[in-house]
Amino acid sequence: MTAQGSVIILANEVSMFSTGHHRILSVLSRSGPQSRTDLARILNLSKASVTALVRELIERNILDERERVFGFGRPAVMLGLRRDAASFIGISLQSDPVHIVLTDPHGRTHVHKTMPLVTDVEACLDAMVGAVRAVAAEAPEGVGALAGIGIVIAGIVSSDSHVCRISATLGWKDVDIGQRLSALTGLPVFVENDANALIIGEQLFGESGDLPDFSLVFVSEGIGGAHIIGGRLHRGRHGGAGEISHSPIAIDGNALPCRCGNRGCLETLAALPAILGAARRNGLPGDIATIKALAADGQPEALSILHQAGTALGIALSQVIQFIDPARIIIRLDPDLLESVFARALRQSVEAHVLRRESYETDLVLTALHPRDFATGASSLAAQHFLFGNTSL
Ligand SMILES: [Zn+2]
């Protein structure tokens, strides 16, 4: 069965905004409603230019006028980004099952579905087209027309966000999944690595979005990392920046073999399969919640396993801090690892390994990671393109 012929057109005319439109949308997305006068000042544009651009965006049902603010001088009309300006679909092929979400321009999720992961490219395209239809059909009233799709994979993606260069999870090499899904749906499609998508979602809709320099690391089956440097996603020359899973941490004779072919990688010490594997070797139950509970009761092996894993991640993060000095590192963890020996050892390890500084330090923020978060990260790729175009965040 092939995906050929199953064309669906759901988009509004995904109208190309001008740079001026995108600049206004980016300010309203980041800072909330503003008056025309404030927009002119923030963007260093004439009031006449802002008025013309805003009029076009109102006519296209992207912006609306909000409450008047009475201060000194004339009352101002605030302009806001409409919740129904557009909607976006995010698909996470990061792990099995696939998560699919539909979100609005404010990052809110309105539909969430799952389906089994299929790795055959044609079958996967068919499944994604079906999922896009199903999710769009479930969109509640008041949700805008679809304006784009984001896809997240575990692996490396081309810098134009179309081609999966390599993904061990999917067994794909140089698959132009973005162009192909775009041809089948009539919508723009953006493909991104899992950690990069999470950090773009954070930059667009999260509390760290205003920071020009921050990093994100997640721990799941593997360990992913991504960096915003100077306000922009840092991809590196080959799109592989931030890949800390295979940073060598253990260099002694006990270093464990890694699936990448090397030994002693961070992943062999701190990813979930490493923690569960160590538990099994010590005769403990193979789930994180139980290991955490045993450690909380003082069970020595459980304590040691979580402590070692947290320490190893802390060593890797201290290297990130020494290399690029982010203002913050967001660490997304299995909910059971939060408030655990793992988390405490992680903080202690960073403290112990980072060169002591007198006047500044990197903030570590530990938050929960759920599998669907990769799908909301994916949808934020499409939202980013819709709101920001090629303008800098
Ligand atoms: Zn490795």
Q: How do residues 29-53 score in pLDDT, each as one tens digit?
A: 888 899 999 999 999 999 999 999 9
Q: What is the pLDDT of residue 162?
A: 87
Confidence of residue 71 (pLDDT cuts 50, 70, 90): low
Tell me: the pLDDT tens digits for 124-154? Answer: 999 999 999 999 999 999 999 999 999 999 9
Ligand 1 center from residue 286 Cα (angstroms)? 22
Ligand 1 center from residue 257 Cα (angstroms)? 8
| DSSP code for 365 | E
CB 288 within 8 Å of CB 340: no
pLDDT of 341 higher than 70: yes
Of 239 and 152, the structure prediction assigns the larger pLDDT to 152
Tell me: the pLDDT tens digits for 212-233? Answer: 999 999 999 999 999 999 999 9
Ligand 1 center from residue 261 Cα (angstroms)? 6
| DSSP code for 265 | B
Ligand 1 center from residue 73 Cα (angstroms)? 63
Ligand 1 center from residue 376 Cα (angstroms)? 27
Tell me: the pLDDT tens digits for 175-188? Answer: 999 999 999 999 99
Place of tokens 């993060």: 317
Q: Are strands 34-35 and 76-81 parallel, antiparallel or unpaired?
A: antiparallel
| 116 prior amide bond cis, ω within 30 | no
Ligand 1 center from residue 251 Cα (angstroms)? 12
Place of tokens 């004439």: 46
Using only C-alpha atoms, the chain has a radius of gyration, in whole angstroms, of: 23
Ligand 1 center from residue 335 Cα (angstroms)? 24
Of 143 and 73, the structure prediction assigns the larger pLDDT to 143
Tell me the whole-structure pTM to 2 decimals. Answer: 0.91
Q: Are strands 363-368 and 328-333 parallel, antiparallel or unpaired?
A: parallel
Ligand 1 center from residue 222 Cα (angstroms)? 10
Ligand 1 center from residue 345 Cα (angstroms)? 22
Q: Are strands 87-92 and 146-153 parallel, antiparallel or unpaired?
A: parallel
Ligand 1 center from residue 258 Cα (angstroms)? 5
d(CA 38, CA 22) in angstroms, rounded, equals: 16
Ligand 1 ion: nearby residues, β-carbon < 5 Å = 246, 258, 260, 262, 265
Ligand 1 center from residue 245 Cα (angstroms)? 6
Instruction: Give the 3-state secondary structure of residue 52.
Output: helix
Q: What is the pLDDT of residue 392?
A: 55
| DSSP code for 336 | G
Give the H or E element holding residue 219. strand 214-219
Tell me: the pLDDT tens digits for 276-288? Answer: 999 999 999 889 9
CB 233 within 8 Å of CB 351: no
pLDDT of 9 higher than 80: no
d(CA 263, CA 261) in angstroms, rounded, equals: 7
Ligand 1 center from residue 263 Cα (angstroms)? 7
d(CA 115, CA 387) in angstroms, rounded, equals: 29
- Output the average pLDDT for the chain: 90
Confidence of residue 7 (pLDDT cuts 50, 70, 90): very low
